[in-house]
Amino acid sequence: MVFALLAPLALPLILAALSLLRKFSTVTRFFPIAVSGIVLGGGVFLIFATATGQAQTALGGVIRADALSAYMLAVVGAVGLVATWGGLGAVPTGHGTLAGSYDSLLCVFLAAMSLAVLADNIGVMWASVEATTIATAFLVGHHRTRKSLEAAWKYVILGSVGVAIALLGIVLIYAASQNAGEPTLSWLSLSNTTLSLDPAMMRAGGALAVLGFATKAGLDPMHSWLPDAHSQAPAPVSGLMSGVLLSVALYAILRIQAVTNLVLGPDFLRIMLSIGALLSLAVAAALLIRQRDFKRMLAYSSIEHMGVMALGAAIGAPAIPAVLLYILGHGLIKATLFVLSGRILAVEGTPVIAEVRGLLARRPGLAVPWLIAMVALVGFPPFSIFFSEVNILFTGWMEGMGAIVGIALLLLLIIFASLVRLTVAMTLGAATASSPTPPDRSAHGPLLPLVLALVTTAVIAFLAQPIAAVLARAAATLGAIH
Amino acid sequence: MFTNIYPQLIGLFAGALLLTSTLMVWRHSLLASIGLLAVQGVALAALVAVIGVEAGDAELLLVAVLVLTVKGGVLPWILARESRATTRITDESPRLNPTAALLTVAGLTIFSYVVIGRILIHVSSVPTHAAPIGLAMMLIGFLLLVTRRRARSQLIGFLLLDNGIATVAFLTSGGVPLFLELGISLDVLLVVVILYVFAGRMHTKFGGTDVDTLRELHD
């Protein structure tokens, strides 16, 4: 049991260290895939282990997995597997002293995300979210062009400052718990209803912590680093950052929200999260209408989807299972799309949508998976994003947030139309004179992880019994502990 | 004996923190700012030590040593070493003139007192009276981040912001647990190193570290 908790944290770090040794240089590119597999395995094992409602702990309670942590760990592993396996060979291996640093940082990045979801202490959760910024800084700047340097600089400055705001919030939450005797940052102790937390300090602390983590989650108005970083990073890194790092930050928000709900009631963060959600949707809608770059298009689509998830978090308990399913569906689809965008960029040599025309006629090997994944992303059934979105909007309506849900629906329609138009512009149309004959049917990389991701998102919403039970248990952990 | 001078010591070191922050806004030389940052680190360590002695908490004394090493020694040393080696012109031409900047600092400090007064209504102890200074340091850090043009001067703003958070932590709750303080210090240290590497790359790629040249990515 302890092994399942500690393996996703320790083994990645060991492999990260081994990646730097020249002796292993021929196999280091498989290390991130192995790490993703370990994290996924640990997550699935913990989902079963926590099915009884009993949380698993290690290291004296600092590492603690309840149903929600186990689910998030499995999502980190699953999305990691798609991004790293699909991205195999996408980034040329380094040379000289930097050989292996790319794979090493990917391993550290996955370990940091695992720690963020497994930590019981909010402070440790904070430190590991900050560690993800550190691990990804050089990954974003990996190409060493002027643009990637600019993106990395903005990412690190805004990311660190945002997370610093969250630290101030956590410090205030810690101070708020001190009139209950020994001050604590343990999430388990803080969500104990018998603890009397100082409401004035909790209000300030909770708001600042959520604002800070919202920066990492890419919610408007703290999103400005996101399109730059996600469009400039190597494709597998973009897939990981967009698919799962944003959700890990959202997980932190959900944990903080569970504590503030006990002290201040659900209305307190509902307003803040609703505003963030609508602003994110508005920004995504405004910038997707005239988007010209397909990697930035995917980045803005992430802001949109995080906005809908934040809306779900604002609605509260009834919508949380849908939000959790959304996290998995969006993660898998977005990792697939970013991996494909990297391949399209590599073979076409341009990120501009207008210059990539008639992809379906010229390169069906890339265009077919891209088209299917885009269909899933914009929210067509049978893919799970459709069911999550409908469930969140419907629950919001039932919970009396009709006006907010109405605006969100309008913005979602604009985004839907924009994404469809951009996808049509890229994929349909006749082949041009310069196109290869016969059509290029190669997928330019491993196709199996992408197929698995698409199939999973297509069928998961129909596996009602096992999946609904897992989601319900995970959502239930956010309730009060009496 | 110590209890008598305790409030005065808290006031003295908190005052030193605010004074160094204000001077950082006033001075435009990068090396002077780094020197002030070192002084601020020492003042912060002294503040932690005073709280530790009053509370009779050995762990806090250990944290004080950690703060002294990291914020008073290692960080300023890294910054100063790199700056002397790579930049000849270290003077800053900020967006805000000194008078306007100092007036803003005064405004931010008053604002901090108003805000903290509303948050800490149920708590009253000697250190919490000085807590607004921590918030003021944070806001001054933001001011430096927004108004400074050079990459390395922005970094000073980031460190001031971090010192401000640490000050709030120590004054409101006697600091976070030791293992967490270690993690936070390590994170900040790594962020600074990373930003320094980027600033160096920026210098070679753009021929300067003016962040206004970062204009290529937009919609």
Give ipTM to 2 decimals.
0.92
Exposed / middle / buried, residue A80 (Cβ in 10 Å: 0-12, 13-18, 19+) = buried
Residue in chain B closest to A286 (alpha carbons) equals B219
Contact A157 B154 (CB under 8 A): yes
pLDDT at A54 over 90: no
**Residue A22: pLDDT above 80?**
no
Check residues A93 and B40 and name the one with the higher pLDDT: B40
Is the residue at A233 inside a domain? yes
Enter the DSSP assignment of A244: I
DSSP A179: G
| Nearest of B122, B63, B62, B163 to residue A177 by alpha carbon | B122
Burial A247-281 (b: 16+ CB within 10 A, else e): bbbbbbbbbbbbbbbbbbeeebbbebbbbbbbbbb
Q: H-helix or E-strand containing B209? A: none
Last residue of a domain, one of A65, A86, A120: A120
Q: Which residues contact A70 (CB under 8 A, 6 or more apart)?
A: A43, A46, A47, A49, A50, A474
Measured distance CA(A409)–CA(A158) in Å, rounded: 30
Q: What is the CA radius of gyration of chain A?
A: 21
Check CB contact under 8 Å for B183 and A124: yes
Using one digit for the tens of pLDDT, what is the confidence trace for A125-163? 999 999 999 999 999 988 888 899 999 999 999 999 999
State yes or no: pLDDT of A34 exceeds 80: yes
The verdict on A154 touching B (C-beta cutoff 8 Å) is yes
Instruction: Report strand pairing: A56-58 vs A63-65.
Output: antiparallel
- Tell me if A199 sits within 8 A of A264, measured CB to CB: yes
Q: Looking at residues A398-423, what average pLDDT do you find?
A: 95
Pairwise CB contact (< 8 Å): B177 & A123: yes
CB B46 within 8 A of CB B11: no
Nearest residue in B to A296, CA atom: B219
Q: Judge whether residue A433 has pLDDT over 70.
A: no
Question: Are A151 and A226 found together in one domain?
Answer: yes
Q: Which of A168, A216, A289, A353 to mutate to test the interface with B (most CBs of B within 10 A)?
A: A168
- From chain A, the residues in CB contact with B195 under 8 A are 153, 156-157
Q: Is residue A127 part of a domain?
A: no
Kindly state whether residues A206 and A329 are assigned to the same domain: no
A389 or B120, which is more confident: A389
Q: Are B131 and B116 in contact (CB under 8 A)?
A: yes
Distance, in Å, from the CA atom of B42 to the CA atom of A309, rounded to the nearest integer, reads 44
- Among candidate residues A214, A248, A265, the one where a domain is terminated: A265
Provide the token pair at A286: 């405004």
Task: Let me know whether A295 and A416 are in one domain.
Answer: yes
pLDDT band, residue A76 (cuts 50/70/90): very high
Residues A282 and A419 in one domain: yes
| Structure confidence at residue A180 (pLDDT) | 66
Does residue A332 fall inside a structural domain?
Answer: yes
Note whether residue A473 is domain-resident: yes
Beta strands in A8-113 (DSSP E): 56-58, 63-65
Convert the pLDDT of each residue in B98-108 to its tens digit: 889 999 999 99
Give me the percent of chain B exceeding a pLDDT of 70: 95
- What is the identity of the amino acid at A46? L
| Tokens matching residue A197 | 């937390």
- Residue A136 forms part of a structural domain: no
Range of the domain at A326: 267-482
Residue A405 has a pLDDT of 95
> In B, which residues are within 8 Å of A167 by CB distance?
165, 184
Query: DSSP code of B74?
Result: I
Per-residue pLDDT, averaged over A160-175, amounts to 92
Distance separating alpha carbons of residues B207 and A344, to the nearest angstrom: 33
Query: Do A335 and A448 lie in a common domain?
Result: yes
Q: Is B209 or A42 the better-scoring residue by pLDDT?
A: A42
CB A386, CB A379: distance < 8 Å: yes
Residue A389 and residue A435 in one domain: yes
pLDDT of the residue at A192? 77
A vs B, Cβ pairs < 8 A, gives 118
Mean local confidence (pLDDT), A16-45: 90
pLDDT at A357 over 90: no
Residues 6+ apart with CB under 8 A from B38: B72, B73, B76
Please check whether residues A425 and A334 belong to one and the same domain. yes
* pLDDT tens sequence across A178-199: 876 778 888 888 887 677 788 8
Where is average pLDDT lowest: A95-99, A295-299, A467-471, B69-73? A95-99
Q: What is the DSSP letter of A59?
A: G
Q: Classify burial at B58, counting beta carbons within 10 Å of its beta carbon; exposed 0-12, middle 13-18, buried 19 or more.
A: exposed
From A62, A87, A120, give the residue that closes a domain. Answer: A120
Instruction: Report the C-alpha gap between A263 and A201 in whole angstroms.
Output: 11
Does A72 have pLDDT greater than 90? yes
Enumerate the residues of chain B whose CB falls inside 8 A of the CB of residue A151: 217
Q: For A219-254, how does the pLDDT look when each residue is reduced to its tens digit (9 = 90+)?
A: 988 899 999 999 999 999 999 999 999 999 999 999
A144 touches chain B (CB under 8 A): yes
Same domain, A430 and A347: yes
Look at chain A and report how many structural domains it folds into: 3
3-state secondary structure of A434: coil
Q: What percent of chain A has pLDDT over 70?
A: 96
Q: How far apart are CA B118 and CA B10, in angstroms?
A: 21
Q: Looking at the whole model, is its pTM more than 0.90?
A: yes
- Tell me: do A437 and A314 sit in the same domain: yes
* Cis-peptide into A221, omega within 30 deg: yes
Residue A232 counted as domain residue: yes
pLDDT at A442: 86
What was the pLDDT predicted at A432?
A: 66
Same-domain pairing of A196 and A116: no
Are A258 and A294 part of one and the same domain?
no
**pLDDT level of residue A482 (50, 70, 90 thresholds):** very low
Per the structure block, which two tokens stand in for A247? 């959700």
Confidence of residue A41 (pLDDT cuts 50, 70, 90): very high
| CB of B181 less than 8 A from some CB of A | no
Per the domain annotation, does A128 fall within a domain? Answer: no
Calculate mean pLDDT across residues B165-175.
Answer: 86
A176 near A240, Cβ under 8 Å? Answer: no
pLDDT at A440: 83
Same domain for A67 and A159? no
Model pLDDT for residues B45-76, shown as the tens digit of each residue: 999 999 999 888 888 899 999 999 999 999 99
Is A171's CB within 8 Å of B173's CB?
Answer: yes
